[in-house]
Amino acid sequence: MAPAQCIRHAAQARHANWTTPQDIKNHYASASFVGYNRVVFNIKGNDYRLIVAVAYRF
């Protein structure tokens, strides 16, 4: 089940229109910001992690 969740999260991240880190936090409260515009999404209770490089759109 978790790989399907990873694919779904990746697709959502790919098509998102985030302009600030707060936009991400509003949608994913457990997202962690680790620097260099990288965000870690914990999936299935932290069993899996999706690490995303974010290019904010202004």
User: Residue 4: its pLDDT value, please?
Assistant: 79
Dihedral over Cα of 26, 7, 52, 56: its sign: negative
pTM: 0.74
What lies within 8 Å, CB to CB, of 2 at 6+ separation is 43, 44, 47, 48
> pLDDT (tens digit, 9 = 90+) per residue, 1-58?
467 777 787 788 888 888 899 999 998 888 999 999 999 988 888 888 889 898 887 6
User: Residue 2: its pLDDT value, please?
Assistant: 62
User: Residue 32: its pLDDT value, please?
Assistant: 94
Length of the chain: 58
